[in-house]
Each structure stands twice: as C-alpha cells, then as structure tokens.
Amino acid sequence: MLEQARETAQGLLNSKGRSTGHVALGIAVCVGAVAASALVAARNAPSKGNPKVKQAYDRLEQPDLQPPAPVFGLVWPPLFTVLALSGIRVWNARSSDQRTRALGLWAAVQTLQALWMAWGPRHRLAQMLTAFTTLGATAAYVHQARKVDGKAAGMVAPYAGWISFANLLTEEVWRKNRPHKATLH
C-alpha cells in the first residue's frame, strides 16, 4: 500500500527517477510562487478584509456577466492548486531547453497574475493590459509545457478558461468606467 501511494505521488508530480531533494525543491519553488501570487491577489481583492479596495470597486460600474463575489473565492483555490501542480510536473521533467522555457513562462504567469491584481481599481488600463498579457503568457506556457509534459499543459486549461473570462470582465470594467473626454464636432 505504501508503494502504491509512492507510485501515485510520483505519477501526479512527474517525479519518477528524480531525487527527493529535487522534488522537494520543486514543490517549495512552485508552491511558494503560487502562494506569493495568491497572497498579492488576496491583499488586493475587493473583500471585507480590504474595505478601501472593495469600496473603490463598488463605485465602478460592473459588467452584466460579473459573478457574485463568493464565486471568486471558490474558483481561485483549485486554479492555484493546478497551477502549482503543473509547475511541479514541468520542474520534474527531463532537463531540456523546452523545460527551461516552460518554467520561465510559468514563472511569468505567476508574476503577471500578481501584478494584475496589484494594479487595483485605480489603474484599470494597466490592469487590463496586464490581464491580456497574462492570457498570452498562459497560452505560451501551455504551448511550451505541452512539449515537455502533456499533463502539465492540460492541467492549466481550467485556469486559461477562467482568466479568459476574467479578461472579458476586466475589459468591460475598463470600458464602462473609462473617463469620457470631450470631443469636438
């Protein structure tokens, strides 16, 4: 039974043939990066814990497609989990240029995800541009990860779908709330 659990963990983490130290470092790096991104997101989320941010978002005209706030709290934890697992699987893949590129793109996605939320409601244009860049980096990561580990690439599909929807929401918030400039006719 213990052997079966070890094999299951190796399959999940793509760690067969990797040293315990390599796997542990990969887990620490990937979970740490996703946790840091999630922490930045949480610190900048429009929630009761962030009354100023919540108030700023509440003053904005929201898109008709905007889900209720609790949906975001339910969606993000599993998405961050699959992002971490995907990164770990790529980390544990055989060393190659493709693996290095995939890990770089994976790290870029984590950084952009944090930056997207850090911009907050007062920097909506920067937030929207970062959202689009995050989606592009995610697509590039999936493409590169597929060359290294197809399961790692597939794990990111729910995240890519959700941030596609989040891009739509971000663009709509920007569009509905951008300052209107006087035009000459």
Q: Which residue has the tokens 């005209």?
A: 61
Residue 70 confidence class, pLDDT cut points 50, 70, 90: confident
Domain ranges of the chain: 19-177
pLDDT in the model for residue 44? 86
User: Global pTM?
Assistant: 0.88
Nearest to residue 20, comparing CAs of 10, 35, 8, 34? Answer: 10
Higher pLDDT, 180 or 71: 71
b/e map 67-86, b = 16+ CB within 10 Å: eeeeebeebbeebbebbbbb
Q: What is the pLDDT of residues 169-181, one digit of tens each?
A: 999 998 999 876 5
CATH superfamily of 19-177: TspO/MBR protein (1.20.1260.100)
Q: What is the pLDDT of residue 172?
A: 92
Q: What is the pLDDT of residue 17?
A: 92
**pLDDT, greater one: 74 or 183:** 74
List, for residues 111-139, the tens digit of each pLDDT value.
999 998 898 878 888 999 999 999 999 99
